[in-house]
Structure 1
Amino acid sequence: MIGAGIFVALGPAAAAAGSGLLFGLAGAAVVAYCNANSSARLAAVYPQSGGTYVYGRERLGDFWGYTAGWSFIVGKTASCAAMALTVGIYAYPQYAHAVAVAAVVALTAVNYAGVQKSALLTRIIVAIVLAVLAAVVVVLAGAGEAAGLSLHTDISPAGVLQAAGLLFFAFAGYARIATLGEEVRDPARTIVRAIPIALGITLLVYTAVAVAVLSVLGGDGLATATAPLADAVTAAGHLQLAPLVRAGAAVAALGSLLALVLGVSRTTLAMARDRHLPAFLAAVHPRFGGPHRAEVAVGVIVAVLAALLDVRAAIGFSSFAVLVYYAIANAAAWTLRPRRRLVPAAGLAGCLVLAFTLPVASVLAGCGVVGLGAALYAGRRFTVFR
């Protein structure tokens, strides 16, 4: 979760809600908590690769499991492309697309070599990103006089909801823990503890960074910032820190891309096992233990998208598809215990509200692609996948 989202999502959220993005951040966190709670409970019962694809299938039926898996794969594939492009934009903007493709190829190779190496690299990346974010918060702490942090009374509720949906992009990562159910020791205990702990740490970090950046740039300045954290430290008079922030953003995007490709390939594996995707994608490498064909296929698709797509367009679409995914997770968790339905009910409602208050283009694209997935499901008996 602590990756490129905090570097790219603050600007669009401020454009939607101004300084009210802090309310949006709180709303995104509440929905994320409900989703994390539901995901953790389901992961304890079904410690298998696939996440909500498995939960929806087991608790709600084959179609809902398929829809969750499809939404996750298409949403996170778009997110992979966005993260790869973030690497290119920050590391070498003149050749952003070429750098993005190279990043995808490199991290696909890391994932191919096994999850243990991926986990080690993730720890290193997160440590670097946390150090950069801490430096940003510290240097901006005494520079708030530039714009001043203020919450206007004319904040639009619709804008706050849209900001929450966009900021949700930066939180959506805890399900990746659940998708690794087959590769985790003692999943019933480990996953249930790991998800809320990771979410809590992430919320604290994001809140500190958002307040610090808003205090310098203000809502209007943040809304127009192309690189919000780098622009904030520059506005505060710390020009020498801007290159470090840009490097940190590139490293953060690499960390996000690493985890995203890992999670998408595992869901692809689960769906291929059930013949919802081509069966050859279900192969597991005899040495490394990972779904090597699914990893390569995901890497190729993401590389193509990274060569063609715009980074901001991918964020809204990814948020919509992933919110659909979590809506199904909450619906599945609602069936577990009749006396513990408040959190999954709130999560289901929250996901649907945030999904349909995103920018219109994102909603239309999301509905179209999810609808395409439903059509493929209906006609799969007549395809080569059968």
Structure 2
Amino acid sequence: MTPDIPRIVLVPGDLSGVGPELMARLLADPANRARARLLVTATAEELDSFATTAAVTIADRDDIEHLGTDYRGPAIPVGEVSIAAGERALADLATALDLCAGGEADGVMFLPLNKGAMGQAGMTEEDELRWFAKRLDFDGFTSELNFIESLVTARVTSHVPVSEIADGISAGKVLETIELLNRVVAQTRTSTPRLAVCALNPHAGEGGKFGREEIDDIAPAIELARSRGIDVEGPFPCDTLFARAVGGDYDGVVTMYHDQGQIAMKLLGFDQGVTVHGGIPIPIATPAHGTAHNIVGTGKADLGPSTHAFDLAVRMAESRRATTDTDNAVAGAAAGTAAGAAAGAQVSPQ
């Protein structure tokens, strides 16, 4: 291992589901372990158990750091939603965030969670992203981004009732989502992102006949984004936009609500899907599927999304390290210049 590779915290997710076996399969591949210094929120004995379930061998484990877990509750039942599983997941995620916030890790990749279990365990936020933001004391804009091979999406509203979607859409939020998507696509896909924005209403509102969100909020946000140099178009009816996007017209699409994008993305690439928790200052990625209680231990869980999530977490962490190194170098140079100027001032003739 070189000292320059990123440090990634791997969290097995909800232990009642397929996350532990997927983690073991990821770690069984030496190529994955060569890409990052891996810190695992599991004991060595737990990882042995995960590997047994997955029917894999994780050889030469000296390059894996076992962080263990702060969870001290009862055993977690497999294949069902439980408070215990939620408490363990929250404890492990807290450890991962704290390590990143303290500069001891560069990014997080976690396996599937169960929001019901985390809610039973005390999570009051609408989802884990908002829980992350609260834990990090981050009050900026956040949005889930979803990746498949050919496309990236971000959404203006997420885990809210359908009856509240329109109230959650404003020009400011649409603009922030466009800017976030543009930034992430530029970091992970192409330096020249081409973006499109979905309308909220059928036929893009048809000139106000079916609603004014396109006129009052979405179109003005698009124009402001374009004035800031972002290549973005819309709003387009979503029933035709995704066919154009997957055909290569766009690299990313902004959607107005959860299922507007998720239905399309899971139809286009369920075996590829990755969710990135955008906006917060820590790279976090996870496969875009659930705990799959019905297939735990059968070997049927598809490793593809987890592999893609790991790849994205590593690449984002590398980008974060590069940015931090550049910022530190600039700050150091500035400090040196200032110190030199001060020294010169001290010896200058009066």
TM over 0.5: no
Which of the pair is proportionally richer in strand?
A: 2
Which of the pair is proportionally richer in helix?
A: 1
- Compute the TM-score of the two structures, normalised by the length of structure 1: 0.25
Select the structure with the greater relative contact order (CA < 8 A; seq sep ≥ 6): 1
- Compute the TM-score of the two structures, normalised by the length of structure 2: 0.27
> Looking at CA atoms only, which structure, 1 or 2, has the larger radius of gyration?
2
